[in-house]
Amino acid sequence: MNDQQNAGTQQVWFITGASKGFGLELVQQLLRQGHRVAATSRNVTELRQAVGHESPDFLPLAVELTSETSVGEAIQATVQQFSRLDVVVNNAGYGQLGSLEELTDEEARANFEVNVFGTLNVIRQAMPQLRKQQSGHILNISSIAGVLGTFPGWGIYCATKFAVEGLSEALSAEVAQFGIKVTIVEPGYFRTNFLKSGSLRLAEHQLPEYTQVRESEAYHDQLQRADSQPGDPAKAAAAIIQVAAEANPPLHLLLGQDAYDMANMKIKALQNDMTQWQALTVSTGFAESTTA
């Protein structure tokens, strides 16, 4: 029996980006269920206010995810406080909207620093403890934009989430021998703060020629103003908690009917390309030798 089984139903969770959205909803539900939660934010005062109450089971941490030292100190503080680590949720990130031509190198790299390298920092710092325990579950919050990239203006954000998908699949293969599980969470549109200015950045220098990108900006602005995203973040958090309790969790967890439909669309498009171009695809190998 491993340490996680010995710990019973109460688990220790480490959640990044916990002051709003999915992260905050997870923290609140987990504390109500009696779990122990270490939660990170760049602003720990804002995090405490958002959670709304102090508890010996709640450890708020001020963390800069782009600093591996800061992340390492947070993981160390979590283990020191709660003696173990069961579930790691890489939730922190932000959206970057703008065509690939419009976005500067600085804007693009900044999105990767948080969405990809911040995630890697947490994984690297958490893995020694998880390997020691021979147990644990890492959930990386991706997006349907990590499955399907045909969104005008979302190229860099999609690229960060495609990177999260790839590293998570590799991570799953690497850590299975240690009893550690990995799940990639791929939400569609949910009523969180994601489309608001604190979580979504626009290109500083915009080109009027990109009319589809401007239409995408207007659509998403209208969506957040109307608060009309179809997904319920409370139900999403509950689904994530349920999956974390599974003995055999999925590698990919789509959340939302819209995410499910868009993933199906991607699969069909890929299958169509494979079928249509099969002859050319398989023609590129070395010809079999005809000599005796």
Question: Which active-site residues does the annotation give?
Answer: 19, 142, 157, 161
**In whole angstroms, how far apart are CA 146 and each of 11, 12, 167, 259?**
29, 28, 12, 11
> For residue 279, how many other CB atoms are within 10 A of its CB?
7
Residue 186 half-sphere exposure toward CB, CA atoms < 13 A: 27
Q: What's the rounded Cα separation, in Å, for the pair 97 and 158?
A: 10
Residues 6+ apart with CB under 8 A from 15: 23, 26, 27, 37, 38, 39, 40, 89, 91
Give the other-Cβ count within 10 Å of 45's Cβ: 11
How far apart CA 67 and CA 115 sit, in angstroms, is 13
